[in-house]
A and B are shown apart, each in its own frame.
Chain A
Amino acid sequence: SRNVKDDLRWVECVQRIRDAQDRAAFAEIFRHFAPRVKAFLMKSGTDAGMAEECAQDVMATLWHKSHLFDPARASVSTWVFTIARNRRIDMLRKQRRPEPDELTWGPEPEPEAADVMELQQESARLAEALAELPEKQRDLVQKAFFGDLSHSEIAAETGLPLGTIKSRIRLALERLRHAMK
């Protein structure tokens, strides 16, 4: 259902928005992600009007924060998911969402192409692994992300296939730390 070529294409779109305020690149990424953000919100119980408002806001945030996206640490889907999640908490639960500090002070060095490629590949592999989970377990994970499961209902042992992507992200973080020294 998903391939690395798509993921790399979205990365390129975000970089073109960042470097050239490229509206065509934005329209392309919008056509793919905006409906998914809206569907995601509606699936977690938001009415259509609020989901539209929220989806527009998420996509506008993608434009404004394009310089903060690091393709060696996340796929574009993951990044958009985190923006949508935070907006949902802001707008619907009317709560602040305490966030960890960002890792760096100034502009980050452009990540190495090989690191970007590896991270995007791992993300695609994770998607495949999730698709192959036993239905019961996959259902549970979905429920957690669509807000149907509170933290106390989530079992301590999730058994999610996260092994490789965890170490990829850890490597990216280490590299970033070394670059800052």
Chain B
Amino acid sequence: MDQIKHHLNDQLLLSYAAGNLPEAFNLVVATHITMCDECRARLGAFEAVGGVMLQDAVPASANQLPEVDLDATMARIERGSKDEIRVAAKSGELPAALHDYIGGSLADVKWRSVGMGVRQAILPTSKDASVRLLYIPAGTKVPDHGHRGMELTLVLQGAFRDEHDRFGPGDIEIATEEDEHTPIAEMDVDCICLSATDAPLKFNGLLQRIAQPFLRI
């Protein structure tokens, strides 16, 4: 994908490299990086910082490095490995990480209506943040809302616009507490996004505020 314009920021890449992001955000970051060589390279640089931290790690309690059992490790090696290797998805296929969480392709998603033609599917992750797929029919508005924490949205298909910019396939929109927006899917194609939040959204319309507890958005 050559036309990606909106990328992950340093804060997210550093947190992902360090392993400090909630699972829901990890999924969005891993999916974007599968689509984006630029962020993959930047992640590589942050991981190199992690490599330096590992080199220099000295335990807090002692000034001597701890020992690890080599024989036990060799025995472990003899027992073999269960790890499988993930390779690049064929073009047109979903990134493997996302495929795992859906349990299939986009055609297998079990959508639930959230009103006005918009549908969602919440993916199972740890509770410190949540991640959902959003299906926004062409030309449809997502109700105007603000954010209590951080919202990270990745476009998988189609495109949307909001007050700030246009977001197409592979683009990431990062919204924080200061941002309010009303995303609208572009006219020609239905838009599918992957969106993670670490706090519930703040809806401005009365109807949505009433419906919110039932929809879990």
Contacts and interface: CB of A to CB of B under 8 A. Distances in A.
Q: Do A and B belong to a common assembly?
A: yes
A176 B168 CA distance: 26
B50 interface: yes
A98 B53 contact: no
Q: Chain A binding site: helix, strand, loop or mixed by DSSP?
A: helix
B87 A102 contact: yes
B73 A30 contact: yes
A22 B77 CA distance: 13
B48 A56 contact: no
A16 interface: no
B51 A80 contact: yes
Nearest to B26: A98
B194 to A, nearest CB: 11
B10 interface: yes
B48 A75 contact: yes
Contact of B12 (A52, A99, A126, A151): A151
Contact of A162 (B19, B45, B98): B45
Contact of B88 (A35, A105, A154, A173): A105
Interface in B39-66: 40-42, 44-61, 65-66
Contact of A101 (B49, B54, B56, B89): B89
Interface stretch (B78-86, B178-186, B200-208): B78-86
A95 B125 CA distance: 8
A56 to B, nearest CB: 4
Interface residues of B, number: 74
B49 A145 contact: yes
A145 B18 contact: yes
Contact of A169 (B9, B44, B83): B44
A37 B67 CA distance: 10
Contact of B57 (A40, A64, A162, A170): A40
Contacts of B149: 152
B19 A88 contact: yes
B49 A141 contact: yes
A60 B77 CA distance: 5
A165 B45 contact: yes
A69 interface: no
Contacts of B49: 126, 130, 141, 145, 160, 162
A64 B96 CA distance: 21
A105 B87 contact: yes
Contact of A60 (B38, B54, B76): B76
Interface in B1-49: 9-12, 14-15, 17-23, 25-27, 29-31, 33-34, 37-38, 40-42, 44-49
A126 B11 contact: no
B95 interface: yes
B86 A1 contact: no
Interface of B: 9-12, 14-15, 17-23, 25-27, 29-31, 33-34, 37-38, 40-42, 44-61, 65-70, 72-74, 76-77, 80-81, 83, 85-89, 95-98, 100-101, 125-126, 149-150, 198
18 contacts: A27-B70, A35-B65, A64-B80, A77-B51, A80-B54, A81-B53, A85-B17, A100-B95, A101-B97, A151-B11, A151-B12, A154-B11, A158-B10, A162-B45, A166-B45, A167-B41, A173-B40, A174-B37
Given A40-B53, A60-B76, A144-B18, 14 more contacts: A36-B54, A38-B68, A42-B66, A60-B73, A77-B55, A85-B17, A98-B30, A101-B89, A127-B52, A147-B20, A154-B14, A162-B42, A169-B44, A173-B37
